Structure 1
Amino acid sequence: MRPIVILIALFMGGLPASVDAMPASVDAMQLAPSHPATVVPVPTTISDFFLPGSQPGQSGTLEFPSKCDNCHGGYNLAVEPAYNWRGSMMAQAARDPLFYACLAIANQDAPQSGDLCIRCHTPKGWLEGRSEPTDGSALTAQDREGVTCDFCHKMVRPAPLGTNPYPGDADYTAGTYTQDQSYLATLGLIPGTTANGMYIADGNNAKRGPFTDANATHQMLYSPFHREADLCGTCHDVSNPAYTKTGSAYVPNAFGAGAPSFDPYMMFPIERTYSEWKMSAYNQPGGVYAPQFGGNKTFVSTCQDCHMKDVSGVACNKAGGVFRNDLPLHDMTGGNTFIPLLVQSLYPSEVDAAALSAGIQRAQAMLEKAASLDVAVAWKDGTYKLLASVINETGHKLPSGYPEGRRIWLNVKMFDPAGALVYESGAYDPATAVLNHDPDIKVYEIKPGISADLAPVVNLAAGPSFHFAINNQIYSDNRIPPRGFRNSTFAAIQSPPIAYSYADGQHWDDTYYPIHPDAARAEVTLYYQTLSREYVEFLRDENRTNTAGQVLYDGWAANGKSPPVAMATKTKLIDLVTAVESPGDRAPALAVGAARPNPGDHVSVTISLPNAAPAVLDLIDVQGRLVLSRDVGSMGAGTHRVALDPGRRLPSGVYVVRLTQGTRFVTAKAVLAR
């Protein structure tokens, strides 16, 4: 019972001098009834959410984006920064009604916790002292511009005084280093890392950027920091500083005293997108071959490579602008296709409707690139089943980011020869926004919640919860890891699989479905949803302080209830070898599944053999030469995973995989990256 003793002591004013001096039983001190009705808020203050870095009043007055438009907009919608930024969720971060609905519940549960949210959703509002009250009511229309141009281009990489973070960069050392050190010296505390909104925004008005040859009419400073994923990590790793990791648990700090450590990994993890990338194969020299993301790049590594792809053009409308083939497109595209619709209806005079629509289309395209889907008939547990394999093509977990409401799931339909539906898993009703959680359903999501120790203190049941400001335990996390996943490294960043398992190196997930006796064809679709019905109703019903939850709900109901987006769809004929069906007669067609990882170093494929007859797996290079061949017929009928080049003898390149049995053959493409 000791953890509860500690929690109650903290909630009543701080950690006792000696825990042993507390009563052995806490029954008389129970703060919550046995049948809770209303959350008991924790006694947090603004001090509990203090973080180092620039503080309000230390970064000057951030300029309005409209001033930047004068040079950086109105000339080429395909590449210009202004139009593309205005269509991004970065520009709408402080107009997002989901943000305000969440903010209300956070402040109810943990007073003034909203300060932690406001600092990244509107840096201008936070840095200029308008984050209090922490419900966002003091924010102005200018603050609602969200993550603005001037903020990002003021950012400084944290470094101890006297330490040059780029000693090998002569341009930085000779130019920007002195100014960076000068500003860092004005801060009370310099963050030890780039995370959790601990940003450093220089009060100097010069704009920082990654190019040394820009012909700007304003002051500018060269910044290699702006090419690094660390810059994005500033707001895309989020931790709750009110909790400290103690063993395997997260315990509240002494309230009003602030966090004892500003190491994000000593706090409760809320989002780990940046850290997931940091521990992935993308964070290595050369990156990963993924031309679908990089624009002019074929290999991608940093956040910017995928979310600000390289295009060809100039960054301004003035003479002398430098034409570049590595111009970062300022679209910052993620996967949000729904919230822009609500923003447009709530703030019609503040937003560019065309830019938002273009942003929605980009987000749809991004979602379609984020995952691959492979479907096969496979032998499993003594029978043939439908195998759906989801491959994560991103540099972080799938899905990643804010944990509440967003989810990915598989919808599997089977049809008889006449086209009638005979089986469905993951059925979704667009009229009611209800996802049917049938016994076979696979949903990829994370479920944070309230621990058993904390539950009686806050008057909530132990278990998964949407109360993100006071959640202190992760109950499950089956989100698909990225390439390069290792259980040990993901545990170190507080993002391991929980109540699920992935092997080291696994960046895909396999799900098996029973094949209906009448099924002749299967159709499998992977769906992504920004906002679930359960979450939007929670935000409406739990709100006791303002109308933010109702505003969100009304917008949700009026705009299709956050329609799921199809990320990938595959159709599979359920091919039978015999015309007479019996349990022993079912067999898959000859098939070779998609290679994975593709590209990759250790590439393998799934092969399906309808019988035990001789079969050969060949690898053919782009010049048509047979470079490797192996006998696979001895494996027998069924589905098998086969390494293409176990000895790693072949060079990098594109290869054709050919599986032959008798007079039949099937092919697939594989890319080896050494």
Structure 2
Amino acid sequence: MRLLLSALATASLLVCGASHANNQPYAPSYLTLDGDPQTVKIKDWNSPKQCKGCHPRQFKGWQGSMHSIAFIDPVFQGEWALGEKETNGLTRNLCAGCHTAVGTVNQKVEFDPKMGKHGGFTTEGMANAGVSCDVCHTVSENNVLHTAMLENGNASFAIANDKVKRGPLSDSKSPMHKTEYSDLHTKSEFCGNCHNVFHPGNNFPIERTYDEWKYSPYAQAEIQCQDCHMVPVDTAIRVADEMKPAKDLENHGLGGKAARGGKPRDMVHDHGFVGGNFTVAPLLGVKGGQEHADAAKKRLQNVAELEAKVATQADGVNLLTVTVHNRRAGHNLPTSLTFIRQLWLEVVITDAKGSELLRSGSLDANNELPEGTVIFQNRAVDGDGKGPQHKPWKVAGFDMQNTIPPKGSRDATYAFNLPKGVSEYQVEVKLNYRSFSQATADLLLKDKVEVPYIEMTSLSL
């Protein structure tokens, strides 16, 4: 830990030095302001409610999404606060750059030690809205060439306060604001600016959702993040099955108007950005949260498939082989903080009378996974190689990687014996998922919350 904090401190000193001041004014993030920092004000950006009048469809999609609660998410806040204390504030801008870009460029993000279990962060006005309409649509530039990794990540974008709304429509006109076409908004690189996270001290990729996509069959087929996460779940399923961008699907049904009074268009993107988190929005009780949680569950229940077979060895031992296929995610399963997400197999084998011959992966009385559970997860270690490590600021590498790549698969094997005289048996296999463990919730949250999980898919033999 001492070595890691030293590395973080060194990184902070470097990026704040004169030669890096223009590239990283909000170090260690790579966020920059396309404007005058001396005159910038939070009110330079619009509240999402102002956008709702002309863009009700987009507002409805965004409201209750993980983007809408990016700043107030209590699990994120708990981890962020713990990082604030353990790194003496060196992670503040790293997280804030993406979770409240407007608050960051205005330097209105403050730590309150009295909030939550470990403290918490506050900001002002529309900066509380997290990743909101005006955050994305005032992004003016990609700062990838200014990063130490020469990769998208750690808020590698510029945000402008010039009242110009940028987006993917080349012919948009509005009586309410200036508009400008942005090719960046049509590409996955736009998303990669936040959905890649590198440790600012050692540059290790803590989160690499964008890179997982970049080297996948989806990228080769020119399928962008937007083709799966800015369309209904049923359309995302078709994109993955047909391996075509959403606009190239026959009868995609995505037409409409981008704004009230606008002209009809062949395709209008939704703004729900549905992923795999079905826990936090309902926990907060925000409007639209349950709808987004239900969509996330639907995505999870349509992304993977199981295969299983049993082979009897010469010594009489039976080997059950379970194969998990990543059929419809354009990134790894799981993705994001792969050392925290939990994707696991639950296997129960019984004889004809119902007596258990094998059980693996069933949650215990403490809502935790028992030892020996097959879990598709990366194992993080610190700078001394010690793990598992679950605090992002301490991660220096992975000593085990077991996530499932796009269109790829992983196998798991279980051995079992049949009692003498028993020839019939039944195998039940489930693939389960949750965003974090019970121990993580207990560490980060002040109030006790039992972490739910979802059965993604199952099969019987």
Letter in 2 for 1:272: R
Alpha-carbon spacing, 1:532–1:53, altered in 2? closer, same or farther (3 Å):
closer
Percentage of matched positions with identical amino acids = 25
Counterpart of 1:119 in structure 2 is 97
Q: Counterparts of 2:51 and 2:400 in 1: how far apart (Å)?
A: 44
Q: Counterparts of 1:116 and 1:224 in 2: how far apart (Å)?
A: 26
Q: Deviations over 1:171-212 (max 9, x none)?
A: xxxxxxxxxxxxxxxxx9999543211211123212111122
How far has the Cα of 1:328 moved from its partner? 1.3
Q: Are 1:67 and 2:41 counterparts?
A: no
Q: Are 1:367 and 2:272 counterparts?
A: no
How far has the Cα of 1:381 moved from its partner? 7.9
How far has the Cα of 1:126 moved from its partner? 1.3
Q: Provide the secondary structure at the position in 2 that maps to 1:568.
A: strand
Q: Provide the secondary structure at the position in 1 that maps to 2:337.
A: coil
Counterpart of 1:340 in structure 2 is 281
Q: Deviations over 1:549-601 (max 9, x none)?
A: 31xx43x2xxxx121101111111xxxxxxxxxxxxxxxxxxxxxxxxxxxxx
Q: Are 1:377 and 2:310 counterparts?
A: yes
Q: Provide the secondary structure at the position in 2 that maps to 1:411.
A: strand
2:441 to 533, 536, 545: 536
Q: Are 1:100 and 2:77 counterparts?
A: yes
Counterpart of 1:227 in structure 2 is 186
Counterpart of 2:262 in structure 1 is 320
How far has the Cα of 1:537 moved from its partner? 2.8
Q: Are 1:387 and 2:321 counterparts?
A: yes
Question: Contact 1:404–1:535 at 8 Å: present in 2 too?
Answer: no
Q: Provide the secondary structure at the position in 2 that maps to 1:464.
A: coil
1:146 to 130, 142, 145: 130
How far has the Cα of 1:148 moved from its partner? 0.5
Q: Provide the secondary structure at the position in 1 that maps to 2:121.
A: coil
Alpha-carbon spacing, 1:380–1:222, altered in 2? closer, same or farther (3 Å):
farther
Alpha-carbon spacing, 1:468–1:564, altered in 2? closer, same or farther (3 Å):
same
Q: Counterparts of 1:403 and 1:241 in 2: how far apart (Å)?
A: 18
Counterpart of 1:398 in structure 2 is 333
How far has the Cα of 1:536 moved from its partner? 2.1
Q: Are 1:272 and 2:208 counterparts?
A: yes
How far has the Cα of 1:422 moved from its partner? 3.5
How far has the Cα of 1:363 moved from its partner? 0.2
Question: Contact 2:334–2:404 at 8 Å: present in 1 too?
Answer: yes
Letter in 2 for 1:447: R
Letter in 2 for 1:226: H
Counterpart of 2:454 in structure 1 is 565
Counterpart of 1:236 in structure 2 is 195
Q: Are 1:427 and 2:359 counterparts?
A: no
How far has the Cα of 1:44 moved from its partner? 7.9
Question: Contact 2:8–2:201 at 8 Å: present in 1 too?
Answer: no
Alpha-carbon spacing, 1:293–1:437, altered in 2? closer, same or farther (3 Å):
farther
Q: Counterparts of 1:448 and 1:189 in 2: how far apart (Å)?
A: 23
Q: Counterparts of 1:368 and 1:12 in 2: how far apart (Å)?
A: 40
Q: Provide the secondary structure at the position in 2 that maps to 1:444.
A: coil
Q: Counterparts of 1:146 and 1:12 in 2: how far apart (Å)?
A: 26
Q: Are 1:195 and 2:84 counterparts?
A: no
Counterpart of 2:23 in structure 1 is none
Q: Counterparts of 2:244 and 2:391 in 1: how far apart (Å)?
A: 34
Q: Deviations over 1:383-407 (max 9, x none)?
A: 5422211011212111010235321
Greater mean deviation of Cα atoms: 269-278 or 404-413:
404-413
Alpha-carbon spacing, 1:231–1:379, altered in 2? closer, same or farther (3 Å):
farther
Letter in 1 for 2:102: K
Q: Counterparts of 2:299 and 2:191 in 1: how far apart (Å)?
A: 18
Structure showing greater relative contact order (alpha-carbon pairs closer than 8 Å, 6 or more residues apart): 2
2:65 to 74, 84, 88: 88
Q: Counterparts of 1:376 and 1:323 in 2: how far apart (Å)?
A: 49
Question: Contact 2:30–2:155 at 8 Å: present in 1 too?
Answer: no
Alpha-carbon spacing, 1:475–1:189, altered in 2? closer, same or farther (3 Å):
closer
Greater mean deviation of Cα atoms: 417-426 or 471-480:
417-426
Q: Deviations over 1:133-177 (max 9, x none)?
A: 49753413532211001111112343799xxxxxxxxxxxxxxxx
Counterpart of 1:257 in structure 2 is none
Q: Counterparts of 1:332 and 1:510 in 2: how far apart (Å)?
A: 30
How does the TM-score come out when normalised to structure 1? 0.57
List runs of 5+ in structure 1 lacking aligned partners.
Answer: 16-42, 74-79, 162-187, 244-266, 345-350, 454-461, 484-506, 540-548, 573-674
Alpha-carbon spacing, 1:10–1:513, altered in 2? closer, same or farther (3 Å):
closer
Question: Contact 1:157–1:231 at 8 Å: present in 2 too?
Answer: no
2:413 to 504, 512, 521: 512
Q: Are 1:412 and 2:347 counterparts?
A: yes
Q: Provide the secondary structure at the position in 2 that maps to 1:465.
A: coil
How far has the Cα of 1:221 moved from its partner? 1.0
How far has the Cα of 1:226 moved from its partner? 1.1
Question: Contact 1:335–1:364 at 8 Å: present in 2 too?
Answer: yes
How far has the Cα of 1:45 moved from its partner? 10
Counterpart of 1:616 in structure 2 is none
How far has the Cα of 1:278 moved from its partner? 0.5
Counterpart of 2:116 in structure 1 is none
Letter in 1 for 2:370: N
Q: Provide the secondary structure at the position in 1 that maps to 2:32.
A: coil
Counterpart of 1:498 in structure 2 is none
Alpha-carbon spacing, 1:520–1:160, altered in 2? closer, same or farther (3 Å):
closer
Alpha-carbon spacing, 1:357–1:380, altered in 2? closer, same or farther (3 Å):
farther
Letter in 2 for 1:281: P
Q: Provide the secondary structure at the position in 1 that maps to 2:451.
A: coil
Counterpart of 1:476 in structure 2 is 400
RMSD of aligned alpha carbons: 3.5
How far has the Cα of 1:432 moved from its partner? 2.8
Alpha-carbon spacing, 1:311–1:108, altered in 2? closer, same or farther (3 Å):
farther
How does the TM-score come out when normalised to structure 2? 0.81
Q: Counterparts of 2:206 and 2:63 in 1: how far apart (Å)?
A: 27
Q: Counterparts of 1:50 and 1:481 in 2: how far apart (Å)?
A: 29
Q: Look at both structures and tell me which one has the larger radius of gyration over its CA atoms.
A: 1
Q: Provide the secondary structure at the position in 1 that maps to 2:404.
A: coil
Q: Deviations over 1:498-531 (max 9, x none)?
A: xxxxxxxxx1011121244155211100000112
Question: Contact 2:318–2:417 at 8 Å: present in 1 too?
Answer: no
Q: Counterparts of 2:7 and 2:213 in 1: how far apart (Å)?
A: 36
Question: Contact 2:143–2:156 at 8 Å: present in 1 too?
Answer: no
How far has the Cα of 1:215 moved from its partner? 4.6
Counterpart of 1:216 in structure 2 is 174
Letter in 1 for 2:353: A
Counterpart of 1:158 in structure 2 is 142
Counterpart of 1:495 in structure 2 is none
Question: Contact 2:350–2:426 at 8 Å: present in 1 too?
Answer: yes
Q: How many residues align?
A: 422
Counterpart of 1:442 in structure 2 is 374
Question: Contact 2:378–2:400 at 8 Å: present in 1 too?
Answer: yes
Greater mean deviation of Cα atoms: 193-202 or 409-418:
193-202
